[in-house]
Amino acid sequence: MNIGFIGLGIMGAPMARHLIDAGHQLFVYSHGKLHASITETNATRCASSTEVAQRADIVITMLPDTPDVAAVLFGEGGVATGLSKGKLVIDMSSISPIDTKEFAKKINALGCDYLDAPVSGGEVGAKAASLTIMVGGPEAAFNVAKPLFELMGKNITLVGGNGDGQTCKVANQIIVALNIAAVGEALLFASKAGADPAKVRQALMGGFAASRILEVHGERMVKRTFALGFRIGLHQKDLNLALAGARALGVALPQTAGAAQLMQVCAANGMQDLDHSALVRALELMANHQVMPG
């Protein structure tokens, strides 16, 4: 297939590379310098998002936030300008479910299909092609895109109509944030009480408290390895989407609000670009105690 890919960052670059390695022709656009893993391939670099849409049958976007997607799709030199009837736009960013529904309507009005297909799994999942992909949109378009999703991920689900994929991703981010906070509190409590947090984590991994967060992020808390995986700043954005949606729906999300405040503490102390496992640092600041020294 001729595939357009816009947004070749930490996540987008390895995702695009899997498509290239499978034999697809990619047309790419990036504001900055292309990642080496893309420049070494036969991918065609385009001068604008419009050109990407003109040359590709399917256009994939993987961008940081809702305004970025809006600008790439509908701004000057955007995707919408280059679309012709029958093409498919797939947004794999994590953005507002409400705005996603409006984006889909605008793309549909041009005679094209739209899928929202946010992912979970971080940089590791992107590189390993093991992402979880949550899709919203028409089933026929999903069936067209599914072979591409299978090159980038393992757990691929058509959740419902446009916007439902993004709603699912927001739900995912709520669960992840609360789990990180829970693991952080548990390890901090154990450390402050004088127990070895590394051994506590090891013991918990064999019980009902075991989780992927305890396994991966708990290890990061113990080893103090908070180098970028998924930025606190981006997770803040996702929790803000959850809280904004909750207000619109008249739903209380008190634990989500608490996790968002912990991330705000981190951001206020210059840690917004650390991995979200560094949320534990907010708890440590309040306790004046680190899970592990270092």
Confidence (pLDDT) at 123: 87
Per residue of the chain (294 residues), what is the pLDDT tens digit? 899 999 999 899 999 999 999 999 999 999 888 888 999 999 999 999 999 999 999 999 999 999 999 999 999 999 999 999 999 999 999 999 999 999 999 999 999 999 999 999 888 899 999 999 999 999 999 999 999 999 999 999 999 999 999 999 999 999 999 999 999 999 999 999 999 999 999 999 999 999 999 999 999 999 999 987 789 999 999 999 999 999 999 999 999 999 999 999 999 999 999 999 999 999 999 999 999 987
Token readout for 22 is 């499978």
Cross-strand pairs, 3: 26, 58
Catalytic residue among 87, 127, 169, 237: 169
- Asked whether 136 and 157 are in contact (CB, 8 A), the reply is no
- One-letter identity of residue 145: A
Confidence (pLDDT) at 57: 98
Cross-strand pairs, 160: 136
The values of phi and psi at residue 214, to 5°, are -60, -40
Annotation says 85 is catalytic: no
Confidence (pLDDT) at 205: 97
Q: State the DSSP string of 194-215.
A: T--HHHHHHHHTTSTT--HHHH
User: At which residue do the structure tokens 């947090």 appear?
Assistant: 197
Distances (CA, A) of 231 to 64, 170, 276, 281: 11, 16, 6, 14
